């Protein structure tokens, strides 16, 4: 007899972005003439940085020659990329890491989803609400108990420090979906809570490249004590247009220990060696090139382009009388629906009457109700056109 993981029956019928894609495709099938502008899923539209393209072409050529061909790489990732990450993303911020603490992967979605493999299903998990649905779904799949941490305008979408015990806490800043950022002081409160409760923070900083102020932490390890209580996830997807190429990394400090003294770093290494064969050599060469001076310049130009869209969306919607958050250090703009309209209702109205796709806030959790999320990852022309269309229906 086949026994399935019945925890899956507790999940919503479809993954949020699959549900939206299905609804948009159904609309498109009925209205093939509709010129739909997609500002829903946070998928990038700018081409890859030239430096990454050249490096990946070169890597393909290497693989075309028996003398330089690469097969299986290290499960951990290649040292050339690990060294570039440490030298660029951490050492300048005073964060010293060992190579063995950096795990290259195919992206933050897989790692934030898979990290539960090394954590007991008995852990009580705290998840901010609204939230990136992967954290919720993967903990439901594992059968863990979830306690939601409400995030709203009054706490700056950074959650109140819990008065109860939690074993694991997911934090994501700059935040998906609200676009909020966290101050060093507030992040230190979370770190102190975790140290006090002997809890683990799973810190998703996939959007750190969008931070434009030195006062805002890029890494949780800028906070004292964080190496004893936090794992950090990073991604090249939004930073460098790698949503299709796939490459990211996860930091698991050696100081991080489970209740019985087990090293989480050792467990994750063991897990990756058995279940993962590494991100491709070609993607890793592309990611390495992002850290060259020309790669950095190209990445910055792309981010500036998206942030110009963000400013346009933020300012236009505020001008139309809506309350907007985010979009200053983040590619996401979190918008109150007009007159408290139900977020799925507003989503449908925008799709049908303006042919603009956004993400209904309720899809990110009950505290997302009354909001929609709009991404700045579209083209400038589409962002402008979307604002014109939204203005007409408000």
**Rg (Cα) of the chain, in Å, rounded?**
21
Instruction: List the one residue from 24, 37, 42, 102 that touches ligand MLT (CB under 6 A).
Output: 42
The rounded Cα 82 to chain-centroid distance in angstroms is 20
- Least CB distance to ligand MLT at residue 359 (A): 7
- Least CB distance to ligand MLT at residue 40 (A): 7
Binding residues with ligand MLT: total (CB under 6 A) = 6
Burial grade of 68 (CB within 10 A; 0-12, 13-18, 19 or more): exposed
- Least CB distance to ligand MLT at residue 48 (A): 17
- Least CB distance to ligand MLT at residue 176 (A): 5
- Contact call for residues 343 and 337 (beta carbons, < 8 A): yes
Instruction: List the one residue from 103, 132, 203, 210 that touches ligand MLT (CB under 6 A).
Output: 132
Q: Which stretch binds ligand MLT (CB under 6 A): 39-47, 50-58, 217-225, 277-285?
A: 39-47
Nearer to ligand MLT by C-beta: 109 or 329?
109
Residue of this chain nearest to ligand MLT (CB atom): 42
What character string, x for contact with ligand MLT (CB under 6 A) and - otherwise, covers 80-109?
A: -----------------------------x
Binders of ligand MLT in range 155-184 (CB under 6 A) = 176
- Would you give the DSSP letter of residue 173? S
- Contact call for residues 306 and 331 (beta carbons, < 8 A): yes
- E-only strand ranges, 229-306: 230-235, 248-251
Which residues have C-beta within 8 Å of that of residue 226, sequence separation ≥ 6?
191, 201, 220
**Cis, bond preceding 10 (omega within 30 deg of 0):** no
Q: Which stretch binds ligand MLT (CB under 6 A): 38-46, 53-61, 217-225, 321-329?
A: 38-46
Q: Assess 124 for contact with ligand MLT (CB under 6 A).
A: no
- Least CB distance to ligand MLT at residue 39 (A): 10
For residue 294, the surrounding DSSP H or E stretch is helix 293-319
Q: Which residues pair with 263 in a beta bridge?
A: 257
Q: Which stretch binds ligand MLT (CB under 6 A): 40-48, 304-312, 315-323, 379-387?
A: 40-48
Distance of alpha carbon 319 from alpha carbon 332, whole angstroms: 18
Pairing of strands 359-360, 371-375: antiparallel
- Least CB distance to ligand MLT at residue 205 (A): 13
Interface residues toward ligand MLT, by CB under 6 A: 41-43, 109, 132, 176
């Amino acid at each position: 007899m086949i026994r399935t993981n019945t925890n899956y029956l507790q999940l919503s019928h479809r993954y949020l972005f699959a549900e939206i894609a299905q609804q948009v495709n159904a609309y498109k099938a009925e209205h093939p003439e509709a010129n739909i502008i997609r500002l829903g899923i946070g998928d990038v539209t700018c081409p890859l940085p030239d430096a990454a393209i050249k490096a990946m072409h070169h890597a393909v050529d290497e693989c075309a020659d028996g003398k330089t061909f690469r097969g299986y790489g290290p499960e951990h990732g290649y040292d050339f990329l690990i060294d570039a990450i440490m030298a660029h993303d951490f050492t300048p911020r005073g964060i010293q890491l060992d190579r063995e603490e950096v795990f290259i992967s195919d992206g933050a979605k897989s790692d934030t989803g898979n990290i539960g493999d090394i954590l007991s299903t008995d852990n009580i998990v705290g998840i901010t609400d609204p939230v990136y649905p992967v954290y919720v779904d993967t903990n439901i799949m594992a059968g863990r108990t979830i306690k939601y941490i409400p995030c709203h305008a009054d706490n700056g979408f950074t959650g109140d420090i819990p008065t109860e015990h939690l074993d694991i806490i997911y934090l994501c800043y700059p935040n998906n979906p609200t676009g909020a950022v966290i101050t060093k002081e507030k992040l230190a409160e979370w770190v102190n809570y975790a140290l006090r409760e002997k809890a683990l923070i799973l810190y998703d900083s996939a959007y750190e490249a969008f931070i434009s102020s030195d006062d805002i932490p890029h890494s949780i390890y800028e906070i004292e004590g964080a190496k004893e209580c936090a794992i950090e996830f990073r991604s090249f997807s939004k930073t460098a247009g790698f949503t299709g190429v796939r490459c990211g990394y996860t930091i698991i400090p050696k100081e991080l220990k489970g209740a019985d003294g087990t090293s989480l770093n050792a467990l994750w290494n063991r897990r990756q060696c058995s279940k993962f064969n590494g991100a491709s050599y070609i993607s890793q060469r592309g990611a390495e090139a992002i850290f060259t001076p020309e790669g950095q310049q190209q990445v910055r130009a792309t981010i500036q382009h998206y942030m110009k869209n963000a400013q346009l969306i933020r300012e236009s919607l505020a001008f139309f009388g809506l309350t907007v958050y985010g979009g200053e250090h983040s590619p996401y703009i979190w918008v109150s629906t007009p007159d408290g309209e139900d977020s799925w209702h507003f989503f449908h109205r925008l799709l049908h009457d303006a042919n603009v796709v956004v993400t209904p806030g309720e899809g990110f959790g009950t505290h997302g109700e009354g909001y929609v999320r709009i991404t700045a990852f579209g083209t400038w022309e589409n962002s402008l056109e979307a604002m014109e269309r939204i203005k007409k229906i408000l």
